[in-house]
Structure 1
């Protein structure tokens, strides 16, 4: 009933607004329902309807209403081969194109400025993301507390929206939400990016760090295995639970690897160089061409 009401209100409005387009490209899930109204408008206009899902299989973006949207698409545009395989195993029969995701060719952050601003002189770990459990924020804090016992001058910088953890943890610089310039200064300043998210549909921050040739530490998520680990461009940890798409990772294991990487500059450099090479494939000119080719295939 909700879908019918939403379509009744919005489908014709979308149709009027998009009357002259050659195709419609929707980004998102079915739960917002605007995509289903856009699908109805596309079908009335007789133009291809393409959906770029935002999905974490087994966690969100794969409910019944989400798949109703995906099944209404003429083509799905997905981030990875892992995602493509997931849709195929769920019986998705429409065309699926792996397009990836784009990053800016940017590595002009000022690391010295960042370190001076926050008084950082020792080894620096960077966490960028929502300060919530599903992004691995509490896990990073607990792991760093163990690392700090061995490296007294180590610093963990946490950057992102959300509530900071209670208490004053030694060596933790929690700056909250920050703009792009500050983020890039932090990427330039850090020795190691550590974002042990519980799920990712792509993981832009890892590839942004790769443009700075930084070592990357994260969970062994299938998406990151495909993008980074298979090219030795990251250290991925944890024990996979395929049935629920989870990766179990303890603070002890993460903290031990933090310490090992911080005291292994040659290893960090090797990983960072490999990550930089991987990131070349996801610069916007490359990704834009993939999207253009997918549009041409849909129109033909």
Structure 2
């Protein structure tokens, strides 16, 4: 279960952890988790399909929403193999390189999701601050460039993490504390100095999630300032109502992330099950809730999804 040097990394395995203390209930939890995966993947896929097929949804707000759906499908698909492997087949062992790959995709899609939420906050600011120039500012080429920029930034930053981890020696039992591979878990395994890995990981967190969340807050301060300048109460209400879905998406994404961070620092001696459940909430809840939030709060999305099924009925 260990390796003495980098030459034996090809034969190194890591061992994942399921739900500590609830191993006997894995069958029941597998139903819950599989249902969440289905809701997340199908729900976000329906949003992507609705935006793609309905010309009325080819607007900046809905194009950014489809980008958000892509990242959430990516996060769900990245965690699915190991989580369901443990719950269905008790497959706790995973190849080291496979673990590094999963870590890279989980963190990359999470970083992309944060970037898309920031882009969506900018979209809401432009829509409220300058509604007459909204589509002139957020043109399709600019939206595509923003999406490519978010993707390139995420891939570039996260690519260094597995590279540095693979250069380190591993010489003790390699047991992780989750049912998937995270960088914060993997840097605990090497029997060498991981200070560089820790510093790099912190720098990436600050440059992505930290900076994105700060800019989202600034965006909403500017939005609130702009809304308060609207003369009519009805106008202020309508302007703020266009932001409700995005505010919910931001809270659903960042509140569990902050909760996990606080748990790791302030409740280190809490039950391992608590830490596991918090981490699962952070990764699983946003992909499940966001399609529901946008479907309930955004009428054009509901109509677009309904249109997909009406087209299918006409075909048959």
Is TM more than 0.5 here?
A: no
TM-score, normalization: structure 2? Answer: 0.25
TM-score, normalization: structure 1? Answer: 0.25
Structure showing the higher helix proportion among its residues? 2
